Amino acid sequence: MSEIPAKPDHRQLGQELDLFVFSDLVGSGLPLWTPRGTAIRDAADKLVWELRQRRGYQKVEIPHLTKKDLYETSGHWTKFSDELFKITSREGHLFAVKPMNCPHHIEIYRRRPQSYRDLPIRYANTTMVYRDEQTGELGGLTRVRSITQDDAHVFCRADQAKSEIEKVWQIIEEFYGAVGFDKWQIRLSFHDSQKMEKYLGTEIDWQKAENVLREVVHDRQVNAEEVAGEAAFYGPKIDFTAIDPLGREWQLATIQLDVNVPERFDLTCINEQGEKERIMMVHCAIMGSIERFVATVLEFTGGALPIWLAPVQTMILSVSEKEVAYAERVATELRQANIRVETNFDNETLGKKIRGAKLQKIPYLLIIGAAEAVAGNITIEDRDTGQSSKSSVSDFLSRFK
């Protein structure tokens, strides 16, 4: 990986790499994503979905509005009413722009009686939520008003909770390993038994959920700090903090176990005896906020993103106009192989083109001059190794894959 600046700033990198923009006409905390920035988001979300799909998740979709009744039932209205964007219809009905997705997924689960044979049921949904953050608290992509969550909820029996949490843990390790994070600190964020008014449910329910998380950590044979008072209001969490090569800490994924919201919505399955049995929920967002994830990975890598995540994976540079026709054919071949490629055929010196492309931290530069056009090959400049080599297009495609 390329050398990482001591204190990279994702806002500056976002501007230099042309990834996102903020508009005064759109509003503070509402980022607009360019084609390059959108490519990062899509690549990250695609990998999360592939990892989930292998473990039996199903996609669902939900609206961006809801009646207040939904959040009154879940407890969010009482807890977070001041942070909600509210809309009143022409008929006088009060709606909220959704700040979270779990109650909507719950209603999908509740559409019919569920048998124990159907569980676990795993719903995944990448969607935006909206929170009325104060203007002074907004900052780049790390604190925004429109938040894209790669959200998922698992509905399971009590004796299935541990294995479902383990599956999520595996996804977190695989996903962030692909980014380059491999050193972790694990924290168990638990309730504060002296301030039960902050939480849903009873002390017994909380102890039950927290013991499950303790068992998961114990089985994993990892050290985890227990922190009282850091839980979500509906359940305890496993929080994952990564440590980068510079010793910086990055708060990333979280796994939450919920026994309280299922109680409020009377979530059950029909067990082997034909009776209703209370179930648990596992809340899990791998990136959490895609906006915050992009900010984190930009600062972690200094903008030199791993090739699978890079918005432009390859740029083709022509030496002169004479090579443009061949270079276009190469670009077409790469695009057909699903490589994100851009071209620079401007009437500039090759040195200037190379310098400009390197500032954009593109993993591979493919240089095509007269010799390459005649031989039907390319010259490759590798960002991460700094080495230059000649190759056929087919060999490059094999190397790329």
Tokens of 309: 């995540």
Which residue in 52, 98, 191, 283 is the catalytic one?
283
Residue 93 a catalytic site member: no
Torsion sign (Cα): 74, 78, 80, 86:
positive
Distance CA 195, CA 12 (A): 42
**Phi-psi domain of 94 (left: phi exceeds 0; alpha: psi -120 through 50; beta: other):** beta
The residue assigned the tokens 């994702």 is 10
Which residue in 104, 131, 361, 383 is the catalytic one?
131
Residue 258 a catalytic site member: no
Residue 237 a catalytic site member: yes
Residue 102 a catalytic site member: yes
Which residue in 167, 237, 353, 383 is the catalytic one?
237
Q: Hey, how many other C-beta atoms are within 10 angstroms of the C-beta on 162?
A: 16
Torsion sign (Cα): 388, 390, 392, 395:
negative
Helices (H) and strands (E) in the chain, counts: 13, 20
Return the beta strands (E) in 22-142 as ranges: 32-33, 58-59, 65-67, 85-88, 94-97, 121-130
- Intra-chain end-to-end CA distance of the chain, in Å: 18
The HSE-up count of residue 309 (CA atoms within 13 Å, CB side) is: 22
Which residue in 36, 149, 313, 361 is the catalytic one?
149
Q: What is the dihedral of CA 272, 277, 283, 284, to 10 degrees?
A: -10
Residue 59 a catalytic site member: no
Residue 284 a catalytic site member: no
The HSE-up count of residue 53 (CA atoms within 13 Å, CB side) is: 8
Closest CA to 298 of 99, 40, 51, 126: 40
**DSSP type of residue 158:** G
CA distances from 231 to 150, 200, 221, 235, 280 (A): 20, 11, 22, 6, 16
CA angle, 296 then 302 then 303, to 5°:
85
Tokens of 333: 């071949």
Residue 105 a catalytic site member: no
Residues with a known catalytic role: 102, 131, 149, 151, 153, 237, 283
